[in-house]
């Protein structure tokens, strides 16, 4: 029952602060500004309750969030599932920073941004040892 269900043709790109709040909402599910503030307070004590509320309102205006206005405390929820937004952001990054090459992105990520455990998990997926879904396409 979240209001304003219309979505823009191209999803807006969230700022780093907006991504933080989206991450919290993906973990919590639909939540009030107070709940979001409580969830992020330990990581970001610099964000006051008023700042969180203002960011949530701006994100709603941009189309990043849906808002249920049926109760006194508005309830916010991401307008897109986490994987959809992440895929969109990665596609944009591949196009702009890696000349359209997903392979170049993966190689850059593997050079210093992946732990040993994560490398082992990736290797298991590439070797077909995991039941995890692949993101489509074959590694070459």
Closest CA to 19 of 97, 11, 3: 11
pLDDT at 88: 87
- 77 strand-pairing partners: 66
pLDDT at 26: 96
SS3 45: coil
pTM given for the model: 0.70
Give the pLDDT confidence of 14-37 residue by residue, as tens digits.
Answer: 999 999 999 999 999 999 999 999
pLDDT at 9: 54
Distance CA 90, CA 93 (A): 5
| Cα–Cα distance list, 87 to 12, 61, 98, 115, 130 (Å) | 13, 22, 15, 22, 21
Q: Over its length of 140 residues, how does the chain's per-residue pLDDT go in tens digits?
A: 444 444 445 668 899 999 999 999 999 999 999 999 999 998 899 999 999 999 999 999 999 999 999 988 999 999 999 998 888 888 988 999 989 998 888 888 888 788 889 888 988 988 986 554 444 443 33
């Amino acid at each position: 029952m979240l209001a304003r269900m219309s979505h823009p043709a191209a999803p807006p790109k969230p700022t780093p602060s907006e991504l933080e709040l989206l991450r919290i909402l993906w973990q919590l599910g639909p939540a009030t500004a107070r709940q979001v503030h409580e969830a992020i307070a330990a990581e970001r004590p610099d964000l006051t309750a008023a700042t969180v509320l203002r960011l949530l309102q701006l994100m709603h205006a941009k189309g990043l969030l849906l808002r249920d206005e049926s109760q006194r405390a508005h309830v916010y929820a991401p307008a897109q599932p986490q994987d959809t937004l992440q895929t969109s952001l990665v596609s944009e990054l591949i196009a702009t920073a890696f000349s359209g090459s997903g392979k170049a992105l993966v190689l850059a990520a593997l050079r210093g941004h992946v732990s040993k455990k994560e490398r082992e998990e990736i290797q298991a997926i590439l070797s077909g040892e995991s039941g995890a879904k692949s993101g489509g396409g074959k590694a070459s």
